[in-house]
Structure 1
Amino acid sequence: MFGDVKFVCVGGSPWRMKVFAEYIATELCMEDPKSEYPNICAGTDRYAMYKVGPVLSVSHGIGIPSIAVMLHELIKLIHHAHCTDVTIMRIGTSGGIGVEPGTVVVTKQAVDGTFQPRFEQVILGKTVVRDIDLDQSLAKELLKCSKELNQFETVIGNTMCTMDFYEGQARLDGAFCFYTEKDKQDYLMKASKAGVCNIEMESTVFAAMCKLSGLRAAVVCVALLDRLKGDQISCSHEVLQGYEQRVQKLVGYYIKQQLKAKAGST
């Protein structure tokens, strides 16, 4: 059932990944766009999975622990299905730093909350540090695709991955806050000087596990706001939906181009 998979797209929301599956089906002219795509993982509450030809669309929930569980099981699936030449992309939303809302950020390097390119995990009581380098050629190919689309701003920059949505991201609107607006601005400016263009909560473990398994990987997220200007999203729901669709359009365009190239070489 899964042996023909060449592209895996993962994102936090089950609903969003269902929408992406329907979108990619239309883009690839796989089936009637009104067709229903069943959730392959409907028997579990962990995540949702949809298959459209050579493309898997999988949700991973929020944060490092949630995506790590999914990736362990996804990587085992890819291995046992004898899939080859698989490209995996995390698609989602993020908070921008010094970029306009709606900007798509393709991650050059994932970093932790201290701006270091590493993923730390405690295994058997010992701290293990893992490499989190992403495929730079894939990032450049995605940027090239965005220029060909010429519909929205896309940049390549570092992505900061945090363990928390509130204090870990220097927000002032959580249940607790023991720092000032100036403290927040100083920290975010340090992040900007370190090349960080956006903040999310999954990229370091995603990069580490893809690197370990030899999967070609990229992180593509749209910035919903500029955190230097505030913590709250001010635009309408319709505008936000338009921003989220930008990531779908870019990744969908990339997948179409790759499939055309492979078809032309056979």
Structure 2
Amino acid sequence: MAQVPLAKKMSEEQSDSKRQSVHILNPHLEKMDEDILYHFALGTGTHDFPAMFSDVKFVCVGGSPSRMKSFAQYIAVELELGDSKTDIPNICAGTDRYAMYKVGPVLSVSHGMGIPSISIMLHELLKLLHYSKCSNVTIIRIGTSGGVGVEPGSVVITSQSVDATFKPQFEQMILGKTVVRNTELDPGLIQELVQCSKEINEFNTVIGNTMCTMDFYEGQARLDGAFCSYTEEAKIEYLKTAYEAGVRNIEMESSVFAAMCNISGLRAAVVCVTLLNRLEGDQISSPHDILVHHQQRPQKLVGFFIKKHFSNPGMSF
């Protein structure tokens, strides 16, 4: 694919802007002769990271490898860097943990399901961006979620990720001690995405809190798991309380994503489509073609946002 002209354009547009590098807060890395990004099957001793990735300005991450390949093919068409049949190689083909696709200055990476999986991926992704000397990077998680009080197919742009008690924080145990980190997301980026949705004008988009849980079943107050110790009435009361606390959707990755991006100084957002309204049920029962159509909405919104940046040199990166 012809990537040079677009990369050059990006470089020219940022020549007068402040460079914002990716912060890596680990002094131990400086003592290492080589850093092996094991779950990517990449390493500083075997790959030239600056040559491979230094032009990256947008990173989009999502749970499914096939969905992230589909997004890479979609953005290739939108940025006129290929067509729908363009074969985009998986950079992480040496492992079955994650998949990574690069289209010009856009990186599309899968992260699996749940906090542990996305956390591992982010540690290695952030180091990759740092070693590649990337600057002014915007990262967006695109995915699916369960809605709370919103119709299926609605796109939720996360204002902040909250835990199961509706607090905007991510708790992690480090050396046996609880470390609490902030989970707010970039307000300016949120507003840009909202404006893009208005310009597309094809689906309902809302800003709201996203509840991030450690589990798909009991942790999300479902009644259909292998175990359930609460009543349907208790479930509905809990979800209504969540709605009153500003929660509009539920997923399992946003809290650690927001926390790690905050620490790294990355401009970040979470854009998820809702596949059902949890106040009306627990199981996803929509026809396959409807689900596929809904899952394309975050891709379309984020793709529009990225394309808009390239077509408007005055916008910041």
Matched, 1:141 2:192: yes
Separation of aligned partners in 2, 1:264 and 1:87 = 13
After superposition, the C-alpha distances for 1:234-263 in whole angstroms (9 at most, x for unaligned) are: 210000001011111100000000111238
Tell me which amino acid in the other structure corresponds to 1:231: D
Alignment of 1:28-177 (within 5 A): 28-177=79-228
Separation of aligned partners in 1, 2:183 and 2:84 = 37
Query: How many residue pairs align between the two structures?
Result: 265
After superposition, the C-alpha distances for 1:48-93 in whole angstroms (9 at most, x for unaligned) are: 0000001000000000000000000000010011111100000000
Give TM-score scaled by structure 2 length: 0.82
Separation of aligned partners in 2, 1:49 and 1:222 = 22
Displacement after TM superposition at 1:131 (Å): 1.2
Partner of 2:278: 227
Separation of aligned partners in 2, 1:72 and 1:210 = 10
Aligned residue for 1:228, secondary structure, equals coil
Aligned residue for 1:73, secondary structure, equals helix
Q: Among 45, 58, 65, which residue is 1:7 paired with?
A: 58
Tell me which amino acid in the other structure corresponds to 1:69: I
Separation of aligned partners in 1, 2:218 and 2:97 = 26
Q: Among 224, 236, 254, which residue is 2:287 paired with?
A: 236
Separation of aligned partners in 2, 1:142 and 1:167 = 32
Which ranges in structure 1 are unaligned for 5 or more consecutive residues? none
Separation of aligned partners in 2, 1:209 and 1:87 = 13
Separation of aligned partners in 1, 2:315 and 2:188 = 21
CA contact (8 A) 2:309 2:315 kept: no
Matched, 1:181 2:232: yes
Which ranges in structure 2 are unaligned for 5 or more consecutive residues? 1-51
Aligned residue for 2:53, secondary structure, equals coil
Separation of aligned partners in 2, 1:107 and 1:217 = 10
Which of structure 1's runs of 4+ aligned residues deviate more than 4 A?
A: none
Separation of aligned partners in 1, 2:252 and 2:168 = 14
Separation of aligned partners in 1, 2:102 and 2:313 = 20
Partner of 2:12: none
Deviates more, 1:214-223 or 1:24-33: 24-33
Separation of aligned partners in 2, 1:46 and 1:180 = 37
Deviates more, 1:159-168 or 1:123-132: 123-132
Q: Among 193, 205, 212, which residue is 2:263 paired with?
A: 212
Separation of aligned partners in 2, 1:259 and 1:242 = 26
Aligned residue for 1:229, secondary structure, equals coil
Q: Among 77, 84, 88, which residue is 1:26 paired with?
A: 77
Identical aligned residues as a percent: 70
After superposition, the C-alpha distances for 1:161-207 in whole angstroms (9 at most, x for unaligned) are: 00000000000000000001001001000100000000000000000
Deviates more, 1:161-170 or 1:26-35: 26-35
Distance change >3 Å, CA 263–CA 52, structure 1 → 2: farther
Tell me which amino acid in the other structure corresponds to 2:123: H
Partner of 2:250: 199
Separation of aligned partners in 2, 1:237 and 1:145 = 27
Alignment of 1:246-261 (within 5 A): 246-261=297-312
